[in-house]
C-alpha cells in the first residue's frame, strides 16, 4: 500500500486579535508529549479537522462570567487532586543517571513533578534533598515536568550552566522524547501523524481542545481581564507521530500499544490528539471516556476517523481501569549534554 501524501490542514489558525480587527466587516455583532522495535510500515495517515463554518442564523458568544465560574470550580478540584500526590523518599528515587550537572530520574505515576503548593509532596523535593544544586534553590533545578499521572524520565539541573543550556535545548526542540502508551481500540494504520491545532477550551477550562474556527470566533470581544491571557492565546500548531508496537487485549477489551512522539510539545498534546482520533489513552480520566474535558478532543463524533474506538468499548475499558494509573510513560529521552556536549540517550520500561 502506498503512503498517502501529507496534506496541509485547511483549518485556519485564527488569532483573537486578527478576528477582532475584522469582526465589524464580517459579522453583525462581535463574538467572539534508544530506538523501539518498529513494525513494518504499511501506510501513513494525517488526521486533520474538517472545516466548521459558522451558522448562518446564529453566532455563539462565549460568556466571560461562565468561563470564570467554570475555571474557579475546576481549579479547586485540581488543587484538591494535587494534595493526593504520593510522597517519595530521597533514597527511594529511581535514578537513571547523575553527574555534577544533571540528574535523570524515572518518576512513578501519582507523584507531582513540581508542587503546586509547598505542602504537596513532589519529585523535585526528593531530588533536591538527595542531590542539592549549585544555587541552593530547588526551583532552579526544574527543566521540564511530567503530569502527575504520567510516569517516566525527568531531567533536573544541578548547576546554573546546565539549567540555561537545558532550557535552550527544550525551547529550540533539540530534545527527543518518546512515550509509550496504551490507547483504546485497535488502530488500523501501523504509523501515522496527527496534525491538529490546539487551544485552551473556554467551555472546559483550563483544559485543551482541538482549535476550530467556530471556537476561535466565539472568543472575539472578550479581554484578558475577563477570562485571562491563556484562554485568548492564538491556536498552536501541533504535531504528534505514532507507531503501533502491538495490538493487544486487556480482559477481552481491545487496546493498542503505541510509541508517541510529541514533535511540538504542547500542553496535554498527546492526550488531546489521541482522543481526537477516537483512541483516547487508557486510564485518562480527563480526556478519555466520561472525562472532565471535552470528549473527542473537542471534535464532533462525525469528524472522527472510522477506526475510532466505540463509546461502548471506551466505557468498558474505563471500568476495567477505574482507580488505576493512566497508561502513558515517558520512555525515552535523548539530548546533547548541556555542559560536556556528549550525546546522551536514556530509556526505561513502561510499568504497564
Q: What letter does residue 123 receive in the DSSP assignment?
A: H
Largest CA distance in the chain: 64
As beta bridge partners, residue 345 has: 334
CA distance 93 to 97: 11
Alpha helix (H) residue ranges in the chain = 16-26, 64-82, 123-131, 160-171, 213-217, 224-227, 269-276, 311-320
Cα 46 to chain centroid distance, Å, stands at 18
* pLDDT at site 30: 24
Pairwise CA distance, residues 232 & 62, whole Å:
11
- Which three cell numbers mark 304? 472522527
SS3 1: coil
Spatial separation of the C-alpha atoms in residues 241 and 262, rounded to whole Å: 7
Residue with cell 520512555: 331
At 275, list the grid cell: 482522543
* pLDDT, position 258: 98
Pairing type for strands 191-195 and 239-250 reads antiparallel
User: Contact 255/184 with Cβ under 8 angstroms?
Assistant: yes
pTM over 0.85: no
pLDDT, averaged per 10 consecutive residues of the chain (352 residues), comes to 39 40 28 28 44 46 91 95 97 98 98 95 98 97 97 98 97 96 98 98 97 93 91 96 98 98 95 98 98 97 95 98 97 98 98 97
Distance CA 337, CA 343 (A): 6
Please report the pLDDT score of residue 239 as a whole number: 97
> DSSP character for 316?
H
**The Cα angle at residue 84 between residues 295 and 201, in degrees rounded to 5:** 25
How confident is the model at residue 226, as a pLDDT?
85
Q: What's residue 59's pLDDT? A: 52
Q: How many other CB atoms sit within 10 Å of the CB of residue 345?
A: 11
Amino acid at each position: 500500500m502506498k503512503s498517502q501524501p501529507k496534506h496541509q490542514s485547511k483549518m485556519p489558525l485564527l488569532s483573537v486579535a486578527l478576528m477582532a480587527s475584522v469582526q465589524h466587516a464580517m459579522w453583525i455583532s462581535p463574538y467572539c508529549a534508544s530506538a523501539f522495535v518498529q513494525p513494518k510500515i504499511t501506510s501513513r495517515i494525517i488526521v486533520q479537522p474538517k472545516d466548521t463554518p459558522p451558522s448562518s442564523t446564529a453566532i455563539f458568544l462565549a460568556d466571560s462570567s461562565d468561563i470564570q465560574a467554570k475555571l474557579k470550580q475546576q481549579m479547586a478540584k485540581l488543587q484538591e487532586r494535587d494534595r493526593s500526590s504520593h510522597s517519595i523518599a530521597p533514597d527511594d528515587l529511581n535514578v537513571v543517571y547523575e553527574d555534577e550537572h544533571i540528574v535523570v530520574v524515572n518518576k512513578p505515576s501519582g507523584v507531582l513533578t513540581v508542587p503546586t503548593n509547598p505542602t504537596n509532596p513532589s519529585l523535585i523535593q526528593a531530588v533536591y534533598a538527595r542531590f542539592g544544586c549549585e544555587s541552593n534553590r530547588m526551583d532552579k533545578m526544574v527543566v521540564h515536568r511530567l503530569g502527575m499521572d504520567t510516569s517516566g524520565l525527568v531531567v533536573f539541573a544541578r548547576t546554573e550552566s546546565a539549567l540555561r543550556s537545558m532550557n535552550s535545548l527544550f525551547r529550540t526542540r533539540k530534545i527527543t522524547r518518546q512515550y509509550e502508551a496504551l490507547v483504546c481500540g485497535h488502530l488500523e494504520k501501523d504509523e501515522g501523524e496527527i496534525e491538529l491545532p490546539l487551544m485552551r477550551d473556554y467551555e472546559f477550562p483550563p483544559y485543551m481542545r482541538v482549535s476550530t474556527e467556530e471556537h476561535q470566533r466565539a472568543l472575539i470581544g472578550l479581554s484578558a481581564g475577563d477570562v485571562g491571557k491563556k484562554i485568548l492565546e492564538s491556536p498552536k500548531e501541533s504535531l504528534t507521530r505514532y507507531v503501533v508496537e502491538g495490538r493487544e487485549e486487556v480482559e477481552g477489551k481491545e487496546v493498542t500499544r503505541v510509541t508517541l512522539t510529541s514533535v511540538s510539545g504542547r500542553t496535554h498534546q498527546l492526550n488531546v490528539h489521541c482522543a481526537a482520533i477516537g483512541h483516547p489513552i487508557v486510564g485518562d480520566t480527563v480526556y478519555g471516556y466520561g472525562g472532565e474535558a471535552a470528549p473527542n478532543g473537542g471534535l464532533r463524533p462525525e469528524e472522527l476517523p472510522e477506526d475510532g474506538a466505540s463509546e461502548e468499548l471506551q466505557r468498558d475499558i474505563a471500568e476495567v481501569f477505574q482507580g488505576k494509573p493512566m497508561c502513558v510513560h515517558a520512555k525515552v529521552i535523548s539530548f546533547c549534554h548541556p555542559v560536556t556536549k556528549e550525546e546522551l540517550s536514556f530509556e526505561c520500561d513502561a510499568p504497564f
